Structure 1
Amino acid sequence: MECCPTELWLKIAGLACTDGGRTGCALSLVSREMRALVGPVRFTSISLTTEEQLHAFSALLSSPGTDSSPTIRHLLVYLETQAEHGSDLDTSSIDSALCHVLSVAAPTVVTLAVHGIRFDLIPPRLPFPSLHDLSIDSTDYSTSLTSPHFTTTRRLHIVRRTFPPHPDFWPDLTRFTPLLTHLRLSCVARDGSVPRFLRILLDVPVLAPSGPMGATDAYAPGSEHARRAAETAARLPALRRVAVQPLLMRVRGMCGTPRIAHGRMLVALDAVARACAEGRGTGTLCVLPGSPSYRVDEARADWVNAVGGGDGAWRAVGAKCGAAE
């Protein structure tokens, strides 16, 4: 170490500490000198995918030997067990640990993914001044957007967990993420309001019904719904790139009404996407192949890609519909 300038070591460590925390921990164990050297970049990227990791990292941030204001630029928290069991678990200690970690990370985090855990329980006035990419769950599209934390966020990915959708989802976006340029909605099911609003947002003309599932994708002209949707869309002037990944639903055992509603939503989404591709709109809509869930391996792969400068949750969009930028 004596033969290499400290600045060069710090540069090397900064490039190495982007794998979710393993390299930073390993380097810290080499020697006291190395631990002190990597301290400023040790927590550049942190991946927490078990309750034990979340609790341990929360405790580490409170330990006397840890910088009181560490730089955390990329953070992933995905608790698969909680995502599977939901309200059946006692989550008070988990929620407390998450709030602590997010409170420490908030000033510097740029890429944040939180899944399988109640993200909406964070302190109500906690700002995220550097946050660019956000990926979260929402039980009703809207519960995770309960206060103005995300005024710098450009790309938002929301994974649906329950139905039906929250009626204030689109207005909430204008209040809490006003600078959005990219929006991805995953696991969307039986929600006709999505293609209807996207038609207005992306300035796509009213489309005629088509096929056996055909149903109008537009709000009734002059209706209150149409007026409110137009006002809401006008407050999202930069949002012109949207991706929707429908929920891959089990047909067996599914009664007719939900199946028909889901089919109509798919037809309407495809129609809006085709119109955008043909230039009959001012943005793009990419309809991704259906998926039954957004799994921890997908979330981590997207997050690692974003940490490395890639498109993250938008990788699939680029592969199917062209560049996400």
Structure 2
Amino acid sequence: MASTTIHDFPIELLQAVFVFACADGGATGHALSLVSRAFHAAVQPFRYYTLHLAGPAQITAFAAQHAADGPAYPKVRHLFLGARPPSAHTQHGDLEACSSNPRGDRARVARTIRALLARLGPDLRTLVVLSPVPHAELFAACPEFTELRDLTVARCDDDESGDGDGDGDEGAEAAPALRARLFPRLARLHLATCGRELPLARGAGAPEHLLSCWTALAPDVRELRLSDVPDRTAAVGLRAVLAKTPGESEGTAFPHMTRLWLQPFALSEVEFFREKVTTRRWELISALIELGKGCRKETSVLLLHPEIVLGTSCRDLDAELYPAWRAGVVGHEGYWKGGVQVRDMLTFARRR
């Protein structure tokens, strides 16, 4: 009796398997494409089904390759744009030769990310992006992200992610205005470094609260996570825009929101026992508890434990966000789990 090998399987069956296999950021898709010509052809539509680009060098290389291949390039459904050098789970073979190139300045990296998102955006379902610029610049001139359901944005502009220093990019051209309802079907929004942009985000006219800006972009968000809430002042500002009842004010943030996760700022091991930091943390948690009590009754508020981290660089942030993104891609909760319900918040505060 003749033996049967995997090469004898119908291509439809192989491709059903490849969809699940290519959920690790790109490494498996690349490996499968090297097995044989038949495998290369079978895996090609799913090779970049999920894609983790480790930092500016890989992002630039992939953007150039994608622009050259045009519509023939495989679609990307789940994208992580990171800020650290490539490791074992971010090898893409044809991109590896470019991974040692020097990183460009923040303005150039931002332009590259913006151009890449403009091409990939309409097909994306989940997106994590560590950006050297605010979201108003990052998504400028992008078409609608019509399929996007889950978005995580982190502001990442320390010295490890670019050549520039300081807080801004002097001389950079002004970004085009953002379109309203840029994310029309977005259900989950995670602002991973909201401490860098709260309490205000600059709009076209007077300053607007950060959440008001995001509501215009993604009005149908059901679940919101705010990580790295910095202090009591920021928490009071959040309460002002989240405690309003839908219909009470045109500025109401996320009128359809059902769950809200709040996470205080992260602490390093050195900071953990400093008296001033401890006092600041207690004041913040108390303000977040008041926010939870005053939030709309339609919204369930959960308070997450403050993280104790070994560092706060872009590389550390990338390492923290990647596992949860990958878990979400394969059907787990990812960022959207845990926390203490509002009714238990007083007990939580005493325990901390």
TM-score when normalising by structure 2: 0.68
- Structural mapping, 1:1-325, within 5 Å: 2-64=7-69, 67-68=71-72, 70-80=74-84, 90-118=105-133, 119=135, 120-138=137-155, 146-148=178-180, 149-158=182-191, 159-160=193-194, 162=196, 165-166=199-200, 167-195=208-236, 197-198=238-239, 201=242, 230-233=249-252, 236-248=254-266, 250=271, 263-273=282-292, 281-291=297-307, 293=312, 295-317=317-339, 320-321=340-341
Letter in 2 for 1:52: A
C-alpha separation in 1, matches of 2:40 and 2:108: 30
Runs of 4+ aligned residues of structure 1 deviating over 6 Å after TM superposition are 251-254, 258-261
Letter in 1 for 2:194: R
Q: Which runs of 5+ in 1 are unaligned?
A: 82-87, 205-226
C-alpha separation in 2, matches of 1:96 and 1:163: 20
Aligned-residue offset at 1:264: 3.3
- CA deviation digits over 1:253-297, x for unaligned, max 9? 89x7x9866643321212444677xxx933211111123657212
Aligned-residue offset at 1:7: 0.7
Change (3 A) 1:262 1:269: same
How large is the RMSD of aligned CA atoms in angstroms?
3.6
Letter in 2 for 1:186: S
Letter in 2 for 1:126: P
Aligned-residue offset at 1:186: 0.9
CA contact (8 A) 2:149 2:185 kept: yes
Change (3 A) 1:303 1:315: same
Aligned match of 1:215: none
Aligned-residue offset at 1:170: 2.8
Aligned-residue offset at 1:161: 5.1
C-alpha separation in 2, matches of 1:298 and 1:11: 30
C-alpha separation in 2, matches of 1:197 and 1:117: 24
Aligned match of 1:85: none
Change (3 A) 1:200 1:109: closer
- Look up the SS of the partner of 1:314 in the other structure: coil
Change (3 A) 1:39 1:7: same
C-alpha separation in 2, matches of 1:99 and 1:203: 34
CA contact (8 A) 1:202 1:283 kept: no
**What is the total number of aligned residue pairs between the two structures?**
282
C-alpha separation in 2, matches of 1:231 and 1:5: 55
Change (3 A) 1:29 1:161: farther
Change (3 A) 1:271 1:19: same
Change (3 A) 1:162 1:200: closer
TM-score when normalising by structure 1: 0.73
C-alpha separation in 2, matches of 1:163 and 1:92: 18
Please identify, of 148-157 and 97-106, the stretch whose mean Cα deviation from structure 2 is larger. 97-106
C-alpha separation in 2, matches of 1:133 and 1:198: 24
C-alpha separation in 1, matches of 2:126 and 2:216: 20
Q: Which runs of 5+ in 2 are unaligned?
A: 1-5, 86-102, 157-166, 168-174, 201-207, 343-352
Change (3 A) 1:244 1:52: same
Letter in 1 for 2:196: T
Please identify, of 160-169 and 51-60, the stretch whose mean Cα deviation from structure 2 is larger. 160-169
Change (3 A) 1:79 1:161: farther
C-alpha separation in 2, matches of 1:282 and 1:161: 25
What is the aligned-residue identity percentage? 25
Aligned-residue offset at 1:28: 1.4
C-alpha separation in 1, matches of 2:248 and 2:282: 23
Change (3 A) 1:32 1:97: farther
C-alpha separation in 1, matches of 2:51 and 2:306: 29
Letter in 2 for 1:94: V
- Look up the SS of the partner of 1:315 in the other structure: coil
